Structure 1
Amino acid sequence: MLIDTHAHLNAEQFDEDRQEVIARAQQNGIRRIINVGFNRETIPTSLALAEQYDFIYSTVGWHPTDAINMKDGDLEWLESLCAHEKVVAIGEIGLDYYWDTSPKDVQDRVFREQIRLARKVKLPIVIHNRDAHHDVVETLREEKASEVGGVMHCFSGSWETAKQCLDLNFYISFGGPVTFKNAKQPKEVLEKVPLDRLLIETDAPYLAPHPYRGKRNESSYVRLIAETAAEIKGLSLEELAEITTRNATKLFNLKTSEMTQK
């Protein structure tokens, strides 16, 4: 049994065949999916998907590239949604210094506000970090994010950064890029991450694993990421699946009973 810990199945790329994509995931052994809402538009559709399928859960948060669009009252709105039975984390939140869409000071403020919210409602955090490794780690430390912990989504940093995140009570999650032939650093980091802090994800529809690189990603492909992770760790696919499923279930406080479609 596998869990895709980060997907965007409510994205428009799935509008033509969403039901088939979800069915394929189930057929390939993916028993739970954490779907991510990250702004005013995607949070409601992510929640709707989680309400439609028992085995799909949702996160709610404000993405750093959209931080400039966060209005008065939106933080209170997020807080109200945290009481929803299918909301399992705050995210994805963080810092993005690659896309020049939100000023760094606005990203910083929105990031810190949401960490404080997570601590208030006692939910883990899903971190987006692009080209901002130092500032993300320092902010997590300053805002005492270790109290709730969370996951470094689609981790792309060094082992030194990973160690700092582990010390802050965060899991390290790997997606499609770890399967790329030239992905030397992600493979080296995955090899060193303790098994009890390892997660896998797709980030569908983005970052499809080999051999689908450059095409639309989907949750069923998390199996390919699991196979690569198992090979790097010297485990069977079944062992890797059991470990990462246990980790995700613990982090997101998921039901342990079997999930079935409504």
Structure 2
Amino acid sequence: MLFDTHVHLNDLAFNKDIEEVIKRAKENDVTKMAVVGFDKATIERALELAQIYPFIYLIVGWHPTEAIHFTDDILAWLRDLAKDPKVVALGEMGLDYHWDTSPKEVQFEVFRKQIRLAREVNLPIVIHNREATDDIVRILQEEHAEEVGGIMHCFGEAIEVMQKCLDLNFYISFGGTVTFKNAKLPKIAAEAVPLEKMLIETDAPYLAPHPKRGKRNEPAYVKLVAEKIAELKNMKYEEIATYTTNNAEKLFRIK
């Protein structure tokens, strides 16, 4: 049993063959998925998928690259969505300094508002971090994000950063990058992460793992991530599957 804790099955890349994608996921041990909606269109599509498929759960929030478009009405909408039993976390939220689409000050404000909402509705948060590690850790600390905890999505930082995230009550999630030949930091982190704080994901359709790199990613490939982590930790694949699924169900409060 595998739990893909971060997948964009609501992406246009899956519009034509979603049933086949889901079938392949099931054939590769994937029994649950958390679909992420990070703007109006992707949230609405994620809601549709959750109604159709009982094994799909929802993560809803506002992406930092879209921060310039955030409004009080959107915040109120997210607050209302948090009441849906299928919504298991808020996100992906955070900071993105790679794409110059929203000023840093705007990103800070939107990030803080979503953390405060998560504390209000008592849901964990999912962090998007691109070239903004120090500011993300600082804001999480200042906003007492440890009260709800959450996931450091697609983690690829140094051990010292991982420890700060663990101290903030966050799980560390690994995706396709842990399989990349020259990606040293994700491998070092995967070797060191405590078993009880480890999660796996695909971020599909992005970041397909080796040997699928360069192709469209899909939930079935989370098995390749689990197998690589098992190799790095000198454990059995089945053990990694059990730990990561149990961890996800605990964090998301899924019975």
TM-score normalised by the chain length of structure 1: 0.96
1:50-65 aligned within 5 A: 50-65=50-65
For 1:15, the aligned partner's letter is N
Report the counterpart of residue 233 of structure 2 in structure 1: 233
The structural deviation recorded for 1:96 is 0.5
1:156 and 1:93 map into 2 onto residues whose CA distance is: 17
2:248 and 2:119 map into 1 onto residues whose CA distance is: 19
The structural deviation recorded for 1:85 is 1.2
Gaps of 5+ in 2: none
Report the counterpart of residue 134 of structure 1 in structure 2: 134
Computed over aligned residues only, the root mean square deviation of the Cα atoms, in angstroms, reads: 0.6
1:241 and 1:72 map into 2 onto residues whose CA distance is: 40
Q: Give the secondary-structure state (helix, strand or coil) at the position aligned to 2:214.
A: coil
The structural deviation recorded for 1:69 is 1.1
1:87-98 aligned within 5 A: 87-98=87-98
The structural deviation recorded for 1:105 is 0.5
Report the counterpart of residue 34 of structure 2 in structure 1: 34
Report the counterpart of residue 182 of structure 1 in structure 2: 182
Gaps of 5+ in 1: 256-262
2:17 and 2:243 map into 1 onto residues whose CA distance is: 31
The structural deviation recorded for 1:71 is 2.3
Report the counterpart of residue 13 of structure 1 in structure 2: 13
Q: Give the secondary-structure state (helix, strand or coil) at the position aligned to 2:72.
A: coil
The Cα offsets for residues 21-62 of structure 1, whole Å up to 9 and x where unpaired, read as 011111111000000000111111111111110000011100
The structural deviation recorded for 1:72 is 3.1
The structural deviation recorded for 1:237 is 0.4
2:85 and 2:252 map into 1 onto residues whose CA distance is: 12
Q: Give the secondary-structure state (helix, strand or coil) at the position aligned to 2:216.
A: coil
For 2:200, the aligned partner's letter is I
2:77 and 2:156 map into 1 onto residues whose CA distance is: 31
Q: Give the secondary-structure state (helix, strand or coil) at the position aligned to 1:73.
A: helix
For 1:101, the aligned partner's letter is T
Report the counterpart of residue 70 of structure 1 in structure 2: 70
2:203 and 2:20 map into 1 onto residues whose CA distance is: 18
The structural deviation recorded for 1:211 is 0.5
1:211 aligns with 2:211: yes
Report the counterpart of residue 102 of structure 1 in structure 2: 102
Report the counterpart of residue 173 of structure 1 in structure 2: 173
Report the counterpart of residue 48 of structure 1 in structure 2: 48
2:156 and 2:132 map into 1 onto residues whose CA distance is: 11
Q: Give the secondary-structure state (helix, strand or coil) at the position aligned to 1:212.
A: coil
Q: After TM superposition, what 4+ stretches of structure 1 lie above 3 angstroms from structure 2?
A: none
Report the counterpart of residue 260 of structure 1 in structure 2: none
Q: Give the secondary-structure state (helix, strand or coil) at the position aligned to 2:155.
A: coil
For 1:183, the aligned partner's letter is A
1:117 and 1:206 map into 2 onto residues whose CA distance is: 28
The Cα offsets for residues 177-208 of structure 1, whole Å up to 9 and x where unpaired, read as 10011111110111111010000000000000
1:249 and 1:74 map into 2 onto residues whose CA distance is: 28
For 1:191, the aligned partner's letter is E
Q: Give the secondary-structure state (helix, strand or coil) at the position aligned to 1:41.
A: helix
1:254 aligns with 2:225: no
1:138 and 1:71 map into 2 onto residues whose CA distance is: 24
1:248 and 1:2 map into 2 onto residues whose CA distance is: 10
